[in-house]
Structure 1
Amino acid sequence: MDENELRDALRTTMTRESEPPPMGSAAALATAKRVAVRRNLLAGTAAAVAIAAITAAAVIPGQNLLGGPGTFPAGAPAPAPTDHPVPEPDDTKPSWPPEAGGDATYDSGEHFEKGKLLLDELLAVVPEGYTKPAGQTPDGLPLRSHQATVEENFGAYSAIAALSKDGGTGRLLAEVYGPGNVLPIEPCELAKTFWGMDGTCQIEKVAGKRVGVVVKPQQDDRIDQWAAYRHGDGTVVIVAQGRGGVSDDPAYRPLVEVPFTVRQVAALAAADQFRLD
């Protein structure tokens, strides 16, 4: 087994677990971090044994795939002696701040409170005539939730709230990315980053602001419409609405129609209240 074969074997061992289901874009990056941590916690010992077995099978005495002093890859001439030690590989294990208890999600502190505030703001805009159920569905899904995730140079927050009317239940969602994010600037390109979904996008002008609104998702019934806007300080706000998607339980029928018009959902994305200053 040569170096390339070993690298492929290692990659196969570490990625054997199936991919997680689609999540909110509040952090595709944060989702990947969480998956990495969970894999380390749940399969750390087994993965370490597997990697050790592969490495042991690939390396024989007198050989080192890192090319250290006095060692050489199989079938290759020994390298010339050197006085410079071979550096150890960098530690790539994620390091979470104290407010994030073991994964990429804050569970206390300033960021956690901003995620909670985002949910409060989302509940505050539910139109009259709708109720705002709390608790869980029979299949254990929360009817309200909020999250703040660990990012490199900016805050990332998301919130989901169910709303009911005339026996139907839908949901509102909001995602906020603080200044420093690298999301697209063009409104429709920005809107299409939400959950990686595509669709028919149009520009809505609200008080002189250009907001990208996807009014018809393509082959995806999780969300009916969503709007995205980049504020002057770089903060990105995405507000989405769906007639259903709350639960697979048949007791949760979808709403007859979404609660907001296209122009209204665009105005919510452009509103200062969701910037979380």
Structure 2
Amino acid sequence: MNEQDLKRAFQDVVVASSPPPSMDPGIALGRAHKARSKRRASITGAAVAVLVVGVGLGSAFALNPQGTTNYLVGAGQSSSSNPGMPGSQWGEKWPVGQSDRTATNGPQADRGVQLLNALMASAQAGGFETPKLKYQAPEYQNGEMQRTRAQISTNKGQTPEVWVYTAHVPVQKNGKVGMMLAEVSMPRPSDPAEPCALAKRFWGMSEATCKVRDVNGVQVGDASSQEEGRVMQWMSYKAPNGWTVNIAQNASYEGSGYPGLDGNPFLASELATMATDAKFLLGS
């Protein structure tokens, strides 16, 4: 399955979701008046409570700084079983505000943009330009080559809730264009820990060649494939928190109409180091 097949497969599951209910302004105004009265009555008691809690937290912070910080910011296990990632509010079929698996706004879509920016930053640090180019091949209908996507891979009621983020970036040097791709996923129970087993699950490329590469004591799967329409090289990394990162590259960008680079944008060692960069874990 190439990228176009994958895109069509996701489009086949498009289903409309119900919009969230509207708010009754009369009810909301009444609740506001009641809340204001209660707030005035309790402000003195609240001030005393804040003082007592402040003293207690000061002692707690001295004993357990990280735990106290988590308490203050509301961190902890979320309903999605992914720390720091709250579960989605669901409609009849898809998360509220979505008509299919793809989020086009909200926190998940924002993480997709975060991934795009992270990939662009890594490419630029390697000496490449990351222009907003359009496909020249007619079958791509002048689409954007630089793009990102946030999609939920689990269904309503399934736990843990899993979101997958993907970013494509054209990398350019001396008028020639190659491709960088990043795919980052929340923890999936089925993801293997062994680096090459993980790498061979990327886009279903089970026939890829792979070897384990060490990056400062961390192991990643260094995989490559010559299958037509597939990326040629990628690194797969499973972080200690279960998140997975795949960073791929190709000397050319399929359908771009631009001449390809003389070789892959990065050395294998550079690509492997990139895959273990904490910025690709999207704040997890």
TM-score bracket for this pair, using the shorter chain length: 0.5 to 0.7
Range that drifts further, 164-173 or 204-213: 164-173
Change (3 A) 1:166 1:33: closer
**Counterparts in 2 of 1:70-109, with a 5 A limit?**
95-100=93-98, 102-109=99-106
Q: Which residue of 1 aligns with 2:38?
A: none
Does structure 1 residue 236 correspond to structure 2 residue 244? yes
Q: Which residue of 2 aligns with 1:124?
A: 121
Q: Which residue of 1 aligns with 2:169?
A: 161
Q: Which runs of 5+ in 1 are unaligned?
A: 1-20, 41-92
Question: Counterpart amino acid of 1:268?
Answer: M
Q: Which residue of 2 aligns with 1:261?
A: 267
Percentage of identical aligned residues: 30
Match of 1:189, SS?
A: helix
**Counterparts in 2 of 1:148-227, with a 5 A limit?**
148-152=150-154, 153-197=161-205, 198-214=207-223, 216-220=224-228, 222-227=230-235
Aligned length: 198
Contact residue 225 and residue 240 of structure 1 kept, 8 A: yes
**Alignment partners' CA distance in 2, 1:272 and 1:33:** 29
Q: Which residue of 1 aligns with 2:2?
A: 22
Question: Counterpart amino acid of 1:208?
Answer: G
Change (3 A) 1:188 1:24: farther
Considering only aligned residues, what root-mean-square deviation do their CA atoms show, in Å? 2.6
Q: Which residue of 2 aligns with 1:87?
A: none
Question: Counterpart amino acid of 1:271?
Answer: D
Contact residue 2 and residue 229 of structure 2 kept, 8 A: no
Q: Which runs of 5+ in 2 are unaligned?
A: 17-90, 155-160
**Alignment partners' CA distance in 1, 2:182 and 2:189:** 16
**Counterparts in 2 of 1:126-145, with a 5 A limit?**
126=123, 127-139=125-137, 140-145=142-147
Q: Which residue of 2 aligns with 1:37?
A: 14
Question: Counterpart amino acid of 1:177?
Answer: S
Contact residue 227 and residue 266 of structure 1 kept, 8 A: yes
**Alignment partners' CA distance in 1, 2:263 and 2:274:** 18
**Alignment partners' CA distance in 1, 2:93 and 2:221:** 36
Could you give the per-residue CA deviations for residues 229-268 of structure 1, whole angstroms, max 9, x where no partner exists?
Answer: 100000000000011134253xx11110112111111111
Contact residue 162 and residue 246 of structure 1 kept, 8 A: no
**Alignment partners' CA distance in 1, 2:128 and 2:168:** 15
**Alignment partners' CA distance in 2, 1:240 and 1:231:** 17
Q: Which residue of 1 aligns with 2:107?
A: 110
Could you give the per-residue CA deviations for residues 13-72 of structure 1, whole angstroms, max 9, x where no partner exists?
Answer: xxxxxxxx63399xx6x974531327x9xxxxxxxxxxxxxxxxxxxxxxxxxxxxxxxx
Change (3 A) 1:212 1:167: same
